[in-house]
Structure 1
Amino acid sequence: MCCTDMALAYVEAHAGWSEANTTPSLARDYSAFLSRAPDGSARAAFAVEGVRCAGCMSVIERGLAGLPGIAAARLNFSDRRLAVTWEPTAEPAIGAVLEALEALGYRAQPFDPGRLATAEAAETERLIRALAVAGFASMNVMLLAVSVWAGNVSDMTPENRDLFHWIQALVALPAAAYAGRPFYEGAIRGLRAGRVTMDFPITLGLVLTLAMSVAETLAGAAHAYFDGALMLLFFLLIGRVLDQAMRRRTRACAENIAALRSASATLVEEGGLRDVPLAELRPGARILVRPGERVPADGRVEHGASDLDQSLVTGETGSVPVRGGDAIFAGALNGNGALTVRVTAAAGASLLDEVEGLMRRAFDARSRALVLADTATRLYVPLVHAAALLTLAGWLVAGGGWHAALLNAVAVLIITCPCALGLAIPAVQVAAAGALFRDGVLLHDGTALERFAGIDTVVFDKTGTLTLPMPTLAEGPHDPQVLARAARLALSSRHPMAAALQRAGEGAGPFPGAQEAAGLGVRAVVDGVALRLGSPGFCEAEAEAAATLAAHPDASVICFRAGREAPVALPVRQELRPDADAVVGALREAGLRVLVLSGDRPSAVEAVARRLGVTEWEAGLTPPDKIARIEALQRAGRRVLMVGDGLNDAPALAAAHASLSPVTAAHVSQAAADALFLGRSLAPVLCVLAAGRRARRLMLQNLWFSAAYNAAAVPLAAAGLLTPLIAALAMSGSSVVVTLNALRARRTPSTLRPAAAAPARTAAIRAPAAAGGRP
């Protein structure tokens, strides 16, 4: 049997691929999962099951690196997506990759977003059920255990004590058998592949504790340890559920990007029009983009005119007029005119594909950064089980016998039940998230608090971030009669700039018979007078528009003309957020470096930067440009907070050390950001930095306390000096101490007050020293 057939048999057996639920082409042809780069190299993505820790990444990547023709293998720990690239001269063999992964102890299948969503939903449901069972069982077993502990120091008879132990066993054994399956299965797969995974010591501890408890119950002993085993399982499952939730969020980014991609294109041929899959488009082809459709590929307009939402490129929420000769990009939303476009970059090479690739690489890089909880978990399990093993060996060497040796080894496992450790990080995250919510910040990811704590550089987008998302008419001496007629005409337009004039009207209705000219503006005839509202060219107002822009360099213009009267250019701008200058000033005073990176034109960006006192700014940046600037800062040792809202900001938000978006941001940007903030104020930027520093400090305090508790308790348990009652009281006490300390995060500093109050508050967000130094 060849590698491909073996892999297919494996996938059909373990992933449910069969004739009944899969199309024949998907089940027997892997070519749909391959993509080709311009240099001829092939690339494929795989969904890998069984990845539990950062060590799995190196195992998989090293294991695949030795396969013939493999140029690179990179695993994203966040969404378990494995990207494999073959050499240009090599024949890609997906089956060989699947077989190699199986030999390493991992289930895998070619990456299919639809199947991944279904599989993740099923796994999440399975983990939540296991968590519910473990939580319910641990509470009931703990109640019985407390009764036994109290009875051992009072007048409980041995018969009643044994009855309580057997009831605990009846509850704990089935619950542990069901709830522990995610760990048991991972341990067994690893052993079959000749590896010891992180699931193995967990499984070993659970099985030994339960077996020892049953043996003690059979012997009529005074103590059993069912409660400790279930508590351990409960806290470990909490971590698994949170990890699964984070993977769903990462996948949401990919889904939002996919929503911008057209599934097909309308090809213009000599014989007429033909709908073709996007994969069939080639550079040089001519396509038709109808009103309301998304542009399927990068190209240049040959015929037609329209307004396009190109926020993916510029970040500007306003539509951009395009006509013959203008370049347009995949993912842009066509407005009100049909366009004939000559394709310059098709599927796989468009700007949208580049944005998606940038976001994937950004998440790859972030997934490799271990946070405090990961580090603590990686150290805890091997150290605890090593201590238990040494206790067992020590008592055997000392001649204590197997019973005493096993009893004290299990006591070590119980006394180190990670209640305090399990609460050390999540309790702080929950308290800090609640405090931020009261300040108008919605935290997507609790681990982001640790990243907010290290920020020393803040990068702002301009449009929709430093400014309010909706444009307004600039203040000035406007003729009321002109403004009233322009506002009524604007009611017949869908252009965002027209919306600024609509709000300036006084409630009058639109002119009857008004018509919108695609990509140009709105026209109407009122009392025999032709009225026009739109672009300078449409209103023959180029000179007036140039004069208005010279007086308002940070504004855009919309022009109005009535018959033979002189045209009027009205300045429209996006106003700064009310406290933007105070927030930026507080950031600089706290020692943070502040930059503005925008896709808008230079004059508008310069005006905003000058008003805020920001000396470092760049304009006209594309998504690759933004991510390149952020990566350069991070290579210099800076820890960057990106604050942005546009589609073009999404890769930069993902690549930054931490990220923040307004709740009005594009869906892709919301999914990529670590937190969202509500309202018109920019002060939440200061809130997340203050909350991050306070939360990290409390997390470290909790971890140090947990470490000190275990350092003191383990030697006593290993020496046989602690009774289960004392151990239980110690565990409960440590959890209470950790929880009370975590509640201090609820006193997170709130929003920044005006500049007069800023100095007293900036101490809470004082920037740490940057490795790269201040330029």
Structure 2
Amino acid sequence: MTGEAALRVSSEEVLLASRVVDAGIRQTDLSVPDVHCGGCIRKIEDAVERLPGVQRARLNLSTKRLAITWRESDGPPPLGATLEQLGYEAHLFETREDGRDLQFSRLIRALAVAGFAAMNIMGLSVSVWSGAAGETRDLFHWLSAAIALPALAYSGRIFFQSAWQALRHGQTNMDVPISIGVLLAFAMSLYDAAHHEPYAYFDASISLLFFLLIGRTLDHLMRERARTAVKGLGRLATYGATIINADGTRSYVPTEEIIPGMTILIMAGERVPVDATVETGCSDVDVSLATGESAPEQAIPGRALRQGTLNLTGPLTLTAAAAAKDSFLAEMIRLMEVAEGGRSRYRRLADRAAGLYAPVVHSAAFVSFVGWMLATGDLHRALTIAVAVLIITCPCALGLAVPMVQVVAARRLYEHGIMVKDGSAMERLTEIDRIIFDKTGTLTSGRPSLRHDAAMDGAHLSIAARLAANSRHPYARALAQASEQADIAFDSIVEKAGQGMEARIEDSVWRLGRNEWALKNFDAGKAACTVLACNGRLVQAFAFEDELRKGARETVANLRSDGFTLEIMSGDATDAVARVAADLGIDKWQAQLLPGEKTAHLAELAGTGSKVLMVGDGLNDAPALVAAHVSMAPGSAADVGRQAADFVFLNSNLDSVPYAIRVARSADRLIRQNFAFAAIYNAIALPIAIAGLVTPLIAALAMSGSSILVVANALRLRPAKAARLVRRESAELGTTQRAGAGIT
């Protein structure tokens, strides 16, 4: 950033980028990249603190972050101009990453250039094939060369760089014969054009690039959709938090600058920035990030809270117990990175085919060159035939074989309400032998509903619904939906953080919430539950349940009949997991598991050779979804759960799981058919090319024709005419971002 840009940090930007840290006090963070010593710090802090309205300025040398607290009544201080006068550049402090896919943009530009060049060169070649001769033919050849050279340099670098990297390390890949063939074809074409030969390979070389870039671009799209889970989990970590300083003042600091012992103020709706202990306050907190259990838990003084826990109802004062790099979210991110590293070692079908293709084509071209040199002694003819072998053996058909089928299969899954983010996931899905389900939000709906009892009084339920309508607690929502609200005009209704709702009407006090709070004569030996009480006396007790997801029984039965081993792996309570397992007839199940324990179990299964499909939805399932051989999540899953999964199904019905398996198996058959077709084609085309019977026209038509046939075979996996529409309910679930996985 230049000195002129520093002046762009105007008073309006300072105000818009500021945040309230106390009554009438705001804080603005600037990045000052040129600071390098303690002298810089003192100079900047002293100058900024002298500005009108500035209370405090602190500059962190390691992060180059300048934090300024200022009085709102005095207006934003002229920070940009002040720093510019001191000789320092400054801009608004920002740590979030740019999410642009630069590689995709690079591929699209290369594809556009190659397509434009191939179209024009092919038009010129048609004239040559139609009989143009003499100077006209030579002109067309040189025009083709003028178009091909920049296109080759710009679009071909996608393959040239990959080939060079492989050769530097003594290896080979499919880009090596592509690069050799394209470069030799261009070089031979230049030689032929200079010597007035009747044919040239400009059209073949650029058309080859065009077809291969189509496959490479489609393949990139399928691959890159999958690698966003770790970044998504990182975004759950708060940008910063309000710190209460030793002198009682408040300041906002980035999460990475929080150290153990700091006092943190967390308001309702904010996430805990680091592992911490509650000092003062009482609130309900959502701990689903760790357990998958979205039933809020009570946070009271002395309670330890993990990083990422969501504060729901009241303000809390916490004491930091660990730095961000040592807290819970950092541990989950490390688990996911390790799991992603393991998954990245999976070799896709196309990669395995390329490993066989490259040495075969190299050998065939070399044998052709040596054979024709020995037979004729004509270097030009031997080299031309070797180039023809490299071109006609159709790496473009091989390059399109996998991505075209996967794109069509992804379309078919989309029509059924299933999103696929990674093409290799369809290959991995065909290999599974075991399916592990999370419970809450996956096998069950994940939303609490009132368990109706014959003895329940309808009038009492209506009163409870009237009180519950004023709260966002999951149990309160379930009560509000369970009955019409009583027509009672309470004098006041307030929510007691971490306890429940309290209402007054004349001399009566009604309470809806925890029994230990609502009842005067509460038996400490009883388990906590939700009650409606009047003046401390029990009026009605309420129980809640989590219903099975639609289609769960049928899906489990179908998967079991297909020979899959089924298991439940949940962070929920033992009784709740056992009840669902018994209802569905699943013998193997585990409860009360933390994220690390889930990934450890998956690693143990992988060590025995088992290929696991993990189906889960919670934040706590994210590491397991990445660690599994392949994974699926419902559209109602937490945002990070959807990002971590390979497949996301928007339909509320669980039958999307067997449907995805069927489509993946069909796609696998078509991919293998395409490989078989490419092998048969090369077995026929290779002897013809080696025999020297291939002209540029035949090479171009054969190469294009083989690619068209591969695409046509892929289109056989077309979406069904009567494609199932995603219900409105499913679309709503697909856009919902829940912070938890459900309740027991």
- TM-score class normalised by the smaller sequence: 0.7 to 0.9
**Distance between the aligned counterparts of 1:500 and 1:116, measured in 2?**
39
What is the identity, as a one-letter code, of the residue corresponding to 1:584?
V
Deviations 1:572-604 (A, max 9, x none): 222111210110011111110111111111111
The CA deviation at 1:162 is 4.5
Find 1:620's aligned residue among 592, 596, 600: 592
1:491 matched residue in structure 2:
469
CA distance in 2, matches of 1:115, 1:194: 35
Contact 1:545-1:559 at 8 Å conserved across structures: no
Match of 2:543 among 571, 579, 582: 571
Partner Cα separation in structure 2 for residue 509 and residue 395 of structure 1: 98
Alpha-carbon distance between aligned partners in 1 of 2:33 and 2:257, rounded to the nearest angstrom: 21
Q: Give 3-state SS (helix, strand or coil) of 2:613's partner.
A: strand
Distance 1:510 1:164 in 2: 90
- Matching residue of 2:329: 352
State the TM-score, normalized to the length of structure 1. Answer: 0.75
State the match for 1:182 in structure 2: 158
CA 1:147 to 1:594, structure 2 compared with 1: closer, same or farther past 3 Å? farther
SS in 2 for 1:398: helix
Cα shift at 1:187: 5.7
Return the offset for 1:633.
1.3
What does residue range 311-326 of structure 1 map to in structure 2 within 5 Å? 311-326=288-303
Amino acid at match of 2:504: V
Q: Deviations over 1:78-103 (max 9, x none)?
A: xxxxxxxxxxxxxxxxxxxxxxxxxx
Query: Retained in 1: the 8 A contact 2:421–2:646?
Result: yes
Cα shift at 1:543? 7.6
| 1:23 paired residue among 7, 12, 33 | 33
TM-superposed deviation, 1:707 = 1.8
Q: Are 1:723 and 2:695 an aligned pair? A: yes
Do the aligned partners of residues 541 and 351 (structure 1) sit closer, same or farther apart at CA in structure 2, a change above 3 Å counting?
Answer: farther
CA deviation after TM superposition for structure 1 residue 703, in Å:
0.8
> Is 1:479 aligned with 2:457?
yes
Q: After the TM superposition, which residues 729-740 of structure 1 pair with which residues of structure 2 at under 5 Å, given as runs?
A: 729-740=701-712
SS class of match (1:271) = coil
Return the alpha-carbon distance in structure 2 between the equivalents of residues 620 and 240 of structure 1.
Answer: 44
Q: What secondary structure is seen at the aligned counterpart in 2 of 1:506? A: coil
Which residue is 1:391 aligned to? 368
- Partners of 1:558 and 1:221 in 2: how far apart? 91
CA contact (8 A) 1:531 1:560 kept: yes
* 1:129 and 2:109 aligned: yes
- 1:547-626 to structure 2, matched below 5 A, reads 557-563=529-535, 565-626=537-598
1:535 and 2:514 aligned: yes
Contact 1:532–1:560 under 8 Å retained in 2: yes
Of the three residues 609, 612, 620, the one matched with 1:637 is: 609
- The 1:638/1:179 distance shift into structure 2, 3 A limit, reads same
| In 1: Cα distance, 2:566 partner to 2:112 partner | 46
* Pair 1:462 & 2:472 matched: no
| Residue 207 of structure 2 corresponds to residue 231 of structure 1 | yes
Q: 1:539 to 1:590 in 2, by over 3 A?
A: same
Q: Is the 8 A contact 1:541 1:567 kept in 2?
A: no
Q: Which amino acid aligns with 1:731?
A: M
> Given that residues 288 and 340 in structure 1 are in contact (C-alpha distance below 8 angstroms), is that contact kept between their aligned partners in structure 2?
yes
**Cα separation, 1, equivalents of 2:238 and 2:291:** 20
The residue number in structure 2 matching 1:217 is 193
Taking a change above 3 Å as real, the CA distance of residues 714 and 22 of structure 1, as seen in their structure-2 partners, is farther
Provide the secondary structure at the position in 2 that maps to 1:425.
Answer: helix
- In structure 2, the residue corresponding to 1:722 is in which secondary structure? coil
Matched with 2:356 is 379
Contact 1:580 1:682 in 2 (8 A): yes
8 Å CA contact 2:181–2:391 kept in 1: the answer is: no
Q: 1:194 to 1:325 in 2, by over 3 A?
A: closer
TM score, norm. by length of structure 2: 0.78
Specify the SS of the correspondent of 2:509: strand
Match of 2:71 in 1: none
Change (3 A) 1:716 1:330: same
Distance in 1 between residues matched to 2:169 and 2:396, nearest whole Å: 32
Counterparts of 1:419 and 1:243, CA distance in 2: 13
Query: 1:667-706 to 2 correspondence within 5 Å?
Result: 667-706=639-678
Structure 2 CA distance for aligned equivalents of residues 366 and 510 of structure 1: 59
Q: 2:661 matched to 1:661? A: no
Larger radius of gyration, structure 1 or 2?
A: 2
CA distance in 1, matches of 2:319, 2:452: 42
Deviations 1:479-498 (A, max 9, x none): 22111111111111011121
* Count of residue pairs the alignment pairs up: 636
Helix, strand or coil at the partner of 1:324: coil
Whether contact under 8 Å (1:487, 1:505) holds in the other structure is: yes
Q: Deviations over 1:489-530 (max 9, x none)?
A: 111101112111122233678965311110111111135432
After superposition, the C-alpha distances for 1:236-264 in whole angstroms (9 at most, x for unaligned) are 43455456546754553232122221343
Q: How far did residue 370 of structure 1 move?
A: 0.9
SS of 1:538's equivalent? helix
1:116-195 equivalent positions in 2, closer than 5 A: 117=98, 121-145=101-125, 148-149=128-129, 151=130, 161-185=137-161
Structure with more relative contact order (C-alpha pairs < 8 Å, separation 6 or more): 2
Check conservation: 1:138, 1:234, Cα contact below 8 A: yes
Q: 2:318 aligns with which of 341, 347, 352?
A: 341
| Aligned twin of 1:524 | 503
Answer yes or no: is the 8 Å Cα contact 2:212–2:396 preserved in 1.
Answer: no
SS at match of 2:538: coil
Q: Secondary structure at the match of 1:307?
A: strand
Following TM superposition, by how much is the alpha carbon of 1:166 offset from its aligned partner in structure 2, in angstroms? Answer: 4.0
CA distance in 2, matches of 1:536, 1:241: 60
Q: Give, as a single letter, the amino acid of the residue that structure 1 aligns with 2:483.
A: G
Tell me how far apart the structure 2 counterparts of residues 516 and 325 of structure 1 sit (CA, whole Å): 22
Q: Distance in 2 between matches of 1:318 and 1:510?
A: 29
> C-alpha separation between the residues in 2 aligned to 1:504 and 1:683?
28
Q: Unpaired segments of 5 or more residues in structure 2?
A: 1-30, 38-92, 725-744
> Structure 1 residue 743: deviation in Å?
2.3
Whole-Å separation in 1 of the counterparts to 2:198 and 2:180: 24
Deviations 1:376-396 (A, max 9, x none): 234334432342233222222
Tell me if structure 2 keeps the 8 A contact 1:298–1:350.
yes
For residues 317-353 of structure 1, the C-alpha deviation after alignment (integer angstroms, 9 at most, x for no partner) is 3322221232210011112222233443332222211
* Contact preservation (8 Å) 1:183, 1:202: yes
Amino acid at match of 1:469: G
- 2:476 counterpart letter in structure 1: A
Which whole-Å CA distance do the structure 1 matches of 2:262 and 2:97 have between them?
A: 33
- 8 Å Cα contact 1:579-1:682 kept in structure 2: yes
8 Å CA contact 1:489, 1:510 repeated in 2: no
Alpha carbons of structure 1 residues 427 and 244: separation in structure 2 relative to 1, 3 Å:
closer
Deviation at 1:22, TM superposition (A): 8.5
> C-alpha displacement at 1:279, in angstroms?
4.1
| 1:252 counterpart = 2:214 | no
Determine if contact 2:133/2:198 at 8 Å carries over to the other structure: no
Q: What is the RMSD computed on CA atoms of the aligned residues?
A: 3.3
Letter in 2 for 1:439: H
Q: 1:418-475: per-residue Cα shift (whole Å, max 9, x none)?
A: 2321221112112211211121111111221101111111111111111113322223
- Deviation sequence 1:676-733 (CA, Å, 0-9, x none): 1012100000011111111112111111221221133122202212333433443344
Q: Deviations over 1:14-67 (max 9, x none)?
A: xxxxxxx9924699xxxxxxxxxxxxxxxxxxxxxxxxxxxxxxxxxxxxxxxx
For 1:182-213, what per-residue CA distance to the aligned partner results, in whole angstroms no more than 9, with x for missing partners? Answer: 3445566788x786775555433222111112
Using a 3 Å threshold, how does the CA distance of structure 1 residues 570 and 254 change in structure 2: closer, same or farther? same
